[in-house]
Structure 1
Amino acid sequence: MAYATQTHTGSLSLLDRFAEIREQAAEAYAAWRIYRNTLTELRELSDRDLNDLGISRASIRAIAHEAAYGQTD
């Protein structure tokens, strides 16, 4: 049996839809900036600093991704 999880009582105007797309793009850009900043900062650390933090160079991208987009499976 199927259930409706989202219903609309009316259609969105073109301006409302544009505002929604713009908001989603802004959120995606903000998350991407967090990813890039985290990646850059971790890559600038020395191997010794990374070792002190318990981070290997191979895991830098995964850590940056988790910081920006949340826990991965």
Structure 2
Amino acid sequence: MAHVLNTNIASSSFVARLRDAIEQARSSWALYKEYKSTYNELASLTDRDLADIGVRRCDIADLARSHVYGA
């Protein structure tokens, strides 16, 4: 019977992992800003304008989220 021992050695340095974390934080912040912008634009519309485009006010957060983050 053969046994295999897998050991994972951290191939990326601390600096590389830190850069990745910073880049992911920047990306997340950019998506959040786009979400807030979309949300605020829709929220600033009147109820009549929303009705004209077939959107209920209670659906604004879901629409903004799906627009930015996908399904």
TM range (shorter): 0.7 to 0.9
TM-score, normalised relative to structure 1: 0.81
Q: Provide the alpha-carbon RMSD of the alignment.
A: 1.4
> Matched residue pairs, number?
64
Give % identity.
36
Matches within 5 A, 1:1-73: 11-71=11-71
Provide Cα deviations, 1:17-59, integer angstroms capped at 9, x if missing partner. 0110011101100110111001101000001110111000010
Partner Cα separation in structure 1 for residue 42 and residue 10 of structure 2: 47
Structure 1: gaps spanning 5 or more residues: 1-7
Structure 1 residue matching 2:40: 3-state secondary structure: helix
Partner Cα separation in structure 1 for residue 35 and residue 10 of structure 2: 37
Give the Å deviation of 1:14.
Answer: 1.0
Structure 2 residue matching 1:12: 3-state secondary structure: coil
Query: Where has structure 1 moved over 2 Å in runs of 4 or more?
Result: none
Structure 2: gaps spanning 5 or more residues: 1-7
TM-score, normalised relative to structure 2: 0.83
Flag the structure with larger Rg: 2
8 A contact 1:34–1:67 mirrored in 2: no
